[in-house]
Structure 1
């Protein structure tokens, strides 16, 4: 039943227009920014050769992730918005199976797309700035990009199951992944900085661009995993215990 449900979820994901719009937005952001950055580097009158083109994958992954996070969460919340969750559960009455299948498909799709787009951004930057850049350091960057997209999409999916509202989930993801991590440290208090470091967006920023003072690789990984696991557990419990149409 799990394999059948995964196949149905995969077909459902790719037969709605929103998926393709989110994919196009992510591609435009990541590949577009990488190309512009490469052209700017090539036009520099005093260029510095030897940099890694994989830097483009990490930098563009930070804004590009939001399109794929939106793709992941709408894979969950759209069923509640249209009322489709009722026939979905009639077709797959075992809610744990539906939860696992929908989570797996959304996370795998977002992660694979994120890694592919990061690679495309790297290639675009390399070609635009040729011959200034190299392909050194790709394994570490792709590992971090893959982790951020996988755990971030799991967080978005869990939040979607928990809130069951597209607008509310989008706003919450945007706040926790971008706005609060950037805003809170600017207040200058130790406790606001500590709160910012406990948010998933700070972990993602450190893993991708490394410009989050006070955070480490370990703390970033643990923070993101904690948020993803926490929202998935709460979202799964709500799906299992609450009426689907509430």
Structure 2
């Protein structure tokens, strides 16, 4: 018989249906299970694939039209098929980022963050587990999205498309890396803001609006700042036309991601759930 002064041992892993044990392995198992047991994950990945296919089909048709329309002053000529897929990332990335955002903000919306922090009291470990799972899911998903976009664009481009196996593999891998890093970055922002709407708004402004505004300014300083933003570094990494080497683009992405995770952990440690 258990008395009031005797501790009661509870196996959180068994209670939640995840692998037993604590530490990082238990946190990873819990986050993996939670991610795949919500419909938003499946709908989000399916939506990203559908949007990628639609955008690549449209962009390929526009390329063909621009090459065959005599009214167009400058014809794009033959283009790399995989470039069509990487060019679609400006819009597709927001569907993928929504999945990472919901991993943290969805728990605040439902109140399940209280249970999560009870099971994994270490804020750093909890956010690290979410980041690892997000990157582990988004990377192969990004690679697959790149391949889907290339497969859709190739038959539409016809003679105006150049298909090179090396380019396809390189661009697909870079797409996966870029989306994985960006997902971890936005996860840190979501931990700070704790709101799906607010985090999506910041993502859209920071990854889309701000780079365009700065890049189109007449100030060299502002244009240099634009080149240092994560979305600009990612675009240079995908397109290969950066004003700096690919290693610098990766370093810029890593620095922004580390800062976002540090901010997320700091907020989690200083504010109650």
For the aligned pair, the TM-score class normalised by the smaller chain equals 0.7 to 0.9
Task: Work out the number of aligned pairs and report it.
Answer: 243
Aligned to 1:189: 219
1:61 matched to which residue of 2?
Answer: 89
Aligned CA distance change for structure 1 residues 181 and 131 (closer, same or farther; 3 Å): same
Whole-angstrom CA distance in 1 between matches of 2:58 and 2:131: 35
Counterpart of 2:204 in structure 1 is 174
Structure 1 residue 103: Cα displacement: 1.0
Task: Give ranges in structure 1 of 5+ residues lacking alignment.
Answer: none
Paired residues of 2:144 and 2:172 also in contact (CA < 8 A):
no
Structure having the higher Rg:
2
Tell me the equivalent position of 1:17. 39
Gaps of 5+ in 2: 1-21, 70-74
Instruction: Report 1:136-175 matches (<5 A).
Output: 136=164, 137-175=167-205
Match of 2:111 in 1: 83
- The verdict on how the C-alpha distance between 1:244 and 1:32 changes in structure 2, with shifts beyond 3 A counting, is same
**Do the aligned partners of residues 90 and 132 (structure 1) sit closer, same or farther apart at CA in structure 2, a change above 3 Å counting?**
same
**Any residues of structure 2 matched to 1:97-112 within 5 Å, and which?**
97-112=125-140
Q: State the structure with bigger RCO (CA 8 A, min sep 6), 1 or 2.
A: 1
What is the CA–CA distance in structure 1 between the aligned matches of 2:178 and 2:90, rounded to whole Å?
9
SS in 2 for 1:128: helix
1:104/1:41 CA distance change after superposition, 3 Å: same
State which of 228, 231, 238 in structure 2 corresponds to 1:208. Answer: 238
Q: Secondary structure at the match of 2:216?
A: helix
Two-structure CA RMSD over aligned residues (Å): 2.4
Q: Give the CA deviation at 1:48.
A: 8.3
How many Å apart are 1:224 and its aligned residue?
1.4
Distance 2:48 2:126 in 1: 27
Query: Is this contact kept in 2: 1:61–1:208, CA < 8 A?
Result: no
Shift of 1:235: 1.1
Residue 210 (structure 1) shift:
4.8
Query: For the structure 1 residues 224 and 48, does the alpha-carbon distance in structure 2 shift closer, same or farther, using more than 3 Å as the test?
Result: closer
- 1:226 corresponds to: 255
Matched-pair contact (CA < 8 Å) for 2:207–2:230: yes
Distance 2:79 2:196 in 1: 40
Q: Residue 151 of structure 1 contacts residue 228 of structure 1 at CA under 8 Å; is this kept in 2?
A: yes
